[in-house]
Structure 1
Amino acid sequence: MSLDRKNRIKHAAFRRILHVVVVALLGVLLLFFLWRTGSVYHITWDSDEVDEGIVQHTALVSIEKSGLPKQTKLSVSLEKRNWLPPRNLDLFPNLAEDHITLVLYVHNRPQYLKVVVESLSKVEGIGETLLIVSHDGYFEEMNKIVKSIRFCQVKQIFAPYSPHLFPNSFPGVSPGDCQQKDDPSKKHCKGNPDQYGNHRSPKIVSLKHHWWWMMNTVWDGLKETRQHSGHILFIEEDHFIFPNAYRNIQLLTKLKAQKCSDCYAANLAPSDVNSRGEGWASLIAEKIGNIGYAFNRTVWRKIHSRAREFCFFDDYNWDITMWATVYPSFGGPVYTLRGPRASAAHFGKCGLHQGQGEQGACIDNGSVNIAIEEVDRITNVNSDWEVHIYKRQSGYQAGFKGWGGWGDMRDHQLCLDFAKMYYLGSTPLPG
């Protein structure tokens, strides 16, 4: 082999090595840039959870952050907590194979939360599953109550874009925001009024934002649930849960595929919050209620595909938005399956942003007086029963224009950003 040819081979090999080194350096620089701009987070947890027996955990979380508001320090800190593993793994190391995950979403009504937690502690089968508590904002007393739970695996998540975490900027109150019925052209203020001429109230819009962020996070974001193939049961901080609730919802979710082809969900209670059920020897199919409702990933995908309908409907209530625009867009009957006797009950006397303050606020005599009979302690759904369908029910239907409170374009965009925050392009993050 000639010397020239050997030199050419050496030069070619050097160029290839140099090319690889340059590409590697560019890759490192790109990762550094993404880290600096907030697209990739390198998160380390340590002392905050040492007392729970959790050692340091590290994760690389890649989330499409474009469009989301600039976070506060508290917001960033809470978002890091969302990636912590569940507590009580030493007490409940394994979940049942057919478990139904529970999600409890809360604001700041500690007297309510104590009642719900106490009722959950007595639920048959609760130790078989994972309880996720989703917080709208950060409130220390609420946090302490959840950290005291010892009857199952429990994981806390915090809505990092809750208006309650942004005292001086959107999605909280921004300088120069329009108030009430201000005329932007005269006041030179920011914001879009709703259909009734009212400007946004951060405390009010947080209700819908929290629910939508929570749904996207539970189904598509969390390691524990983003590949969960079964049903997930959703409850609120003013829902009293009966001892037979978990066993009943397990059976109902199995029966709906067999008994009711138009049933998208299963419910623990009637859609009429004042009803404890008919007491008949039959299953009931009716419109989906907001007390103890469970559905699977197939239904979530249908809901997620209606993100624009959800995000642009002028009503600050998530449930009314679903009834008036999302469910009707499915193109056919949308029912839920439940038993003839409630396994959960609404006990709240106050609205979302009340109930904190003096001891026992919004609860009669500081406690809840809900009678639990023997039939409420055991599974009381019969798989041999026929299904009675309520085809026409009162309440919010397609065509209802909404109660307003959701007219600001910034809220519309934030809502849409939540729908895509766990997606890269159109592909969900890998497990």
Structure 2
Amino acid sequence: MPRLKYASVVRVFVIIGLFCLWVQIMLSASSGGIYRDGEELMNANETSEQVLALVPPELHKYLTVHHKNVSANSTERSGPKNISDILRAIQRNNDAQTIYNEDIFGPVQNDTIIIAIQVHTRLTYLRHLIVSLAQARDIDKTMLIFSHDYYDEEINNLVRSIDFTKVMQIFYPYSIQTHPHEFPGTDLNDCPRDAKFDQAVKLQCNNALHPDLHGHYREAKYTQTKHHWWWKANRIFNQLQCTIGHTGPVVFLEEDHYVAEDFIHMLYLLRNMADKSCPQCEILSLGTYLKTYQYHHNSDKVEITPWHSSMHNMGFAFNRTVWNNIMELQDQFCAYDDYNWDYSLLHLSQNRPGREKFKVILCKGPRVFHIGECGIHHKKSNCNASTVISKVQQLLKNAKPYMYPSRVTAIVTTGGAKHNKKLTKGNGGWGDIRDQDLCTNMTKIGRQQRTYIYYA
């Protein structure tokens, strides 16, 4: 082979090899880490000038990023490394049940609107949720309960800096953070997710006899969300002193939600309609997953329809009466082989003896929005939070003339065939009897976990 031609061939192979190496590095970077899913990139984003321009200057303090901590904003970020210290801090805070700003805004009443916010580690989104809450009318008449499954002083300091209403923090005590090498985290002897049944039995790994309905074994990072939601609801309705006689609505939000300034006003309108015209409507929903929004047509429109988990799980609310109905069927929630709390609630709704499914009143013009482009279920590589947030801000600015309607009008629908189809099986991820047992015991104060032999 001529020397020139040979050199060209070598050069081609070198280029191809370098390209393959680059692809491998990119794939490794995108898939590594238990919770990364873009969180590091998303949390490192500066708040854009476009976003700040639509935020009142006095609220910029909630968006302040301390640069010395920016590189440590993911689940792996630096912080207290001593698990015993974290567990003691969690117990101390949960026992204290401190209500911040109670001296300014007064005690919790039985009809106080409680806003329960489930928090993981996405600090950037949480900042913007807090900013949106701060701008809501009548927010000073509510109480915010932040429920955390990750103990972090930067997040705690942000939450405790809130000065516009009453605030409480509760901490999920069975988290992966505090149990990194044992259940409910990932035990060293847990069965690999994709292990075959016969292989798992031979390995005598934990719970080898109980894969999920798809033949897979548990993944702690997925089961935690359902555990956390169930623990949080039990804690609020059954265990806190300030809510022991509470009969008002509890609104469920997550760290990557964003609220409109009239969301509390709309909640009152929905509740009044339910009280007067729709006693069978047990759930109120302030958010929908619409792609387009027409507030000039829909700002004062609501829909009454069967509740469906994937459509009506954002910014939804119910009271103690509904919670008591859920508690009557708690075994169905805890035993259902689905790692999603909302699908488990849908299964419970569809199997209430002698009763119809939950009905919901929902806003046709949503007042709660999802801004999370990155997280456990979202794999987008471009995780610039400011892009989505600025779109929501501009949408709400344009919709402002149509907010605060004096009344709402309802249409009644039966829901689409797809959303009325009865669940025959779950999405899996919840076959491990340890998860089912932990879930069941969360309804009991002073939980004593039973001991099992999980392998053959």
Q: TM-score range by the shorter chain?
A: 0.7 to 0.9
Cα distance change of structure 1 residues 97 and 77 upon mapping to structure 2, 3 Å threshold? closer
Q: Residue 209 of structure 1: which of 201, 206, 227 is its match? A: 227
Q: 1:377 to 1:150 in 2, by over 3 A?
A: farther
Match of 2:282 among 264, 272, 290: 264
Q: Deviations over 1:3-32 (max 9, x none)?
A: xxxxxxxxxxxxxxxxxxxxxxxxxxxxxx
Counterpart among 240, 250, 261 of residue 268 in structure 2: 250
Query: Whole-Å Cα distance in 2 between the matches of residues 301 and 162 of structure 1?
Result: 26
Match of 2:3 in 1: none
Q: Letter of the 2:333 partner, please give it.
A: F
Q: Which amino acid aligns with 2:443?
A: A
Aligned with residue 285 of structure 1, among 304, 307, 310: 304
Q: CA deviation at 1:135?
A: 0.6
Say if 1:310 and 1:326, in contact at 8 Å, map to a contact too: no
SS in 1 for 2:443: helix
Query: Could you tell me how far 1:249 is from its partner in structure 2?
Result: 0.5
1:321-400 → structure 2 map (5 Å cutoff):
321-329=344-352, 331-352=355-376, 361-365=383-387, 367-370=389-392, 371-372=395-396, 373-375=398-400, 378-380=403-405, 382-383=407-408, 385=409, 387-393=410-416, 394-395=418-419, 397-400=421-424
- Alpha-carbon distance in structure 2 between the residues aligned to 1:159 and 1:423: 13
Q: Is 1:154 the equivalent of 2:154? A: no
Instruction: Quote the Cα distance in structure 1 between the aligned partners of 2:420 and 2:401.
Output: 30
Letter aligned with residue 197 of structure 1: G
Report the AA paired with residue 336 of structure 2.
F
CA distance in 1, matches of 2:340, 2:267: 25
Q: Alpha carbons of 1:255 and 1:314: their partners in 2 closer, same or farther (altered >3 Å)? A: same
1:397 offset after TM fit, Å?
4.2
Contact 1:248 1:381 in 2 (8 A): no
Correspondent of 1:189 among 202, 205, 221: 205
User: Which among 119, 134, 140 is matched to residue 121 of structure 1?
Assistant: 134
TM-score, scaled to structure 1: 0.74
Kept after mapping to 2: 8 A contact 1:325/1:398: no
Matches of 1:327 and 1:277, distance apart in 2: 32
Whether 1:236 aligns to 2:248 is no
Give the whole-Å Cα distance in 1 for the aligned partners of 2:406 and 2:429. Answer: 40
Q: 2:440 aligns with which of 405, 413, 416?
A: 416
- Equivalent pair of 1:266/1:337 in contact (CA under 8 Å): yes
RMSD of the alignment, in Å?
Answer: 2.8
- Deviation string 1:247-290 (CA, Å, 9 cap, x unpaired) is 110221122121213211111123x3546478346431123311
Change (3 A) 1:366 1:408: same
Q: Is the 8 A contact 1:253 1:265 kept in 2?
A: no
Rate the CA distance shift 1:322–1:366 in 2: closer, same or farther, 3 A. closer
Please give the alpha-carbon distance, in whole angstroms, between the structure 2 residues aligned to 1:160 and 1:422: 12
Q: Is the 8 A contact 2:119 2:146 kept in 1?
A: yes
In the alignment, which residue of structure 2 is the partner of 1:74? 86
Q: CA deviation at 1:347?
A: 1.7
Q: Distance in 2 between matches of 1:205 and 1:397?
A: 25
The one-letter code matched in structure 2 to 1:190 is N
Q: State the alpha-carbon separation in 2 of the partners of residues 89 and 77 from structure 1.
A: 22
Aligned-partner Cα distance in 1 for 2:246–2:103: 22
Aligned mates of 1:381, 1:277 — CA distance in 2? 18
**Segment of structure 1 superposing worse, 162-171 or 392-401:** 392-401
Q: Can you list the C-alpha shifts for 1:89-146, whole angstroms capped at 9, x where unaligned?
A: 2332345774311111111111110110110000000011111101112133322221
CA offset digits 1:52-71 (Å, max 9, x no partner):
xxxxxxxxxxxxxxxxxxx9
8 Å contact from structure 2 (residues 338, 429) kept in 1 = yes
TM-score, normalised by the number of residues in structure 2: 0.70
Q: Which moved more, 1:414-423 or 1:131-140?
A: 414-423
- Structure 1 residue 164 corresponds to structure 2 residue 177: yes
For 1:367 and 1:165, how far apart are their aligned partners in 2? 32
1:400/1:375 CA distance change after superposition, 3 Å = farther
* Aligned AA (1:363): A
Secondary structure of the residue aligned to 1:283 is strand
SS, match of residue 132 in structure 2? helix
Instruction: Quote the Cα distance in structure 2 between the aligned partners of 1:206 and 1:362.
Output: 26
How many residue pairs match? The answer is 349
Structure 1 residue 421: deviation in Å? 2.6
User: Shift of the alpha carbon at 1:226?
Assistant: 2.4
Q: Secondary structure at the match of 2:115?
A: strand
Q: 1:136 to 1:201 in 2, by over 3 A?
A: same
Q: Percent same amino acid among aligned pairs?
A: 30
Q: Which has the higher helix share?
A: 2
Asked if structure 1 preserves the Cα contact closer than 8 Å seen for 2:258 and 2:368, the reply is yes
**1:17 counterpart residue number:** none
Change (3 A) 1:185 1:95: closer
- Stretches of structure 1 lacking an aligned partner (at least 5 in a row): 1-70, 425-431
Distance in 1, matches of 2:358 and 2:388, equals 38
Asked if structure 1 preserves the Cα contact closer than 8 Å seen for 2:108 and 2:242, the reply is: no
* Stretch of structure 1 that moved more, 209-218 or 245-254: 245-254
Unpaired segments ≥5 residues, structure 2: 1-82, 449-456
